[in-house]
């Protein structure tokens, strides 16, 4: 596998693990507190969602390294806005729209960071990376939710199995989104016009 292929594979891997970790953590944390009533449910979602999506943003920042200031904004923005998207999706349409909406927002924020970084470096492909992130995670959200719907009836009803289900949802969405976005990134992100400090260690 060539250099571009290695970079594509790494972006895909980090995206897969990041979203699996994000939604798996949320699933375990929120389900463990569900029996404590409305307060437990509020804590499970109010803390579990932002902490979970911070895991995804942190994983993607680790592979892309856009700069410290952008990383902080990336993690905080993803934690807050993906949580808002999840709550809004639940309020307006219920599951599984909540999961799909939050994944799409998290992926879109990743694309915005890529766009801003490349534009700042006067590098080509900024719009392509943003479009790939939005499209990739939109398709990934649908694929992940579809996989969860198929798998859910075959799993026992417990916190650990729910965490496994949400982790699998995240893994599928992250793999698809990361693969599409990573293809665009592998061709422009590590180009010579982008300083070595903004790229992952080769």
At 196 the pLDDT is 39
To the nearest 10 degrees (0 to 180), the angle between helices 3-33 and 159-188 is: 150
The tens digit of pLDDT for each residue in 49-59 reads 999 999 999 99
Q: Is the distance from CB of 66 to CB of 117 less than 8 angstroms?
A: yes
At 193 the pLDDT is 41
At 37 the pLDDT is 74
In a domain, 110, yes or no: yes
Tokens of 113: 């960071």
- Which secondary structure element, helix H or strand E, spans residue 198, and what is its range? none
At 2 the pLDDT is 59
How far, rounded to the nearest angstrom, does the alpha carbon of residue 100 sit from its chain's CA centroid? 11
Alpha-carbon gap, residue 136 to 51, rounded angstroms: 23
| Nearest of 72, 23, 73, 78 to residue 48 by alpha carbon | 23
In a domain, 196, yes or no: no
Structural domain harbouring 53: 3-191
In a domain, 199, yes or no: no
In a domain, 169, yes or no: yes
Q: Which long-range contacts (CB under 8 A, 24 or more apart) does 150-154 make?
A: none
In a domain, 29, yes or no: yes
Q: What is the CA radius of gyration of the chain?
A: 17
Residue ranges in the chain modelled with pLDDT below 50: 192-202
In a domain, 151, yes or no: yes
The tens digit of pLDDT for each residue in 125-172 reads 899 999 999 999 999 999 999 999 999 999 998 889 999 999 999 999
- What's the pTM? 0.89
At 197 the pLDDT is 43
Domain count, the chain: 1
In a domain, 201, yes or no: no
């Amino acid at each position: 596998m060539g250099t571009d292929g290695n970079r594509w594979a790494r972006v895909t891997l980090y995206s897969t693990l990041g979203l699996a970790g994000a939604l798996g953590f949320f699933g375990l944390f929120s389900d463990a507190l569900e029996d404590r009533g409305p307060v437990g449910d509020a804590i499970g979602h109010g803390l579990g969602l932002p902490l979970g999506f911070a895991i995804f943003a942190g994983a993607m920042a680790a592979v892309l390294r856009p700069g410290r200031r952008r990383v902080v904004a990336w993690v905080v923005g993803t934690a807050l806005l993906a949580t808002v998207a999840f709550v809004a999706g639940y309020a307006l349409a219920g599951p599984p729209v909540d999961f799909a909406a939050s994944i799409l927002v998290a992926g879109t924020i990743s694309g915005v960071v890529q766009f801003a970084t490349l534009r700042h470096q006067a590098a080509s492909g900024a719009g392509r990376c943003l479009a790939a992130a939005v499209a990739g995670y939109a398709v990934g959200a649908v694929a992940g939710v579809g996989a969860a719907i198929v798998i859910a009836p075959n799993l026992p009803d417990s916190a650990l199995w729910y965490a496994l289900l949400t982790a699998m949802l995240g893994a599928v969405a992250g793999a698809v989104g990361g693969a599409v976005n990573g293809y665009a990134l592998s061709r422009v992100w590590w180009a010579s016009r982008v300083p070595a400090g903004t790229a992952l260690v080769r």
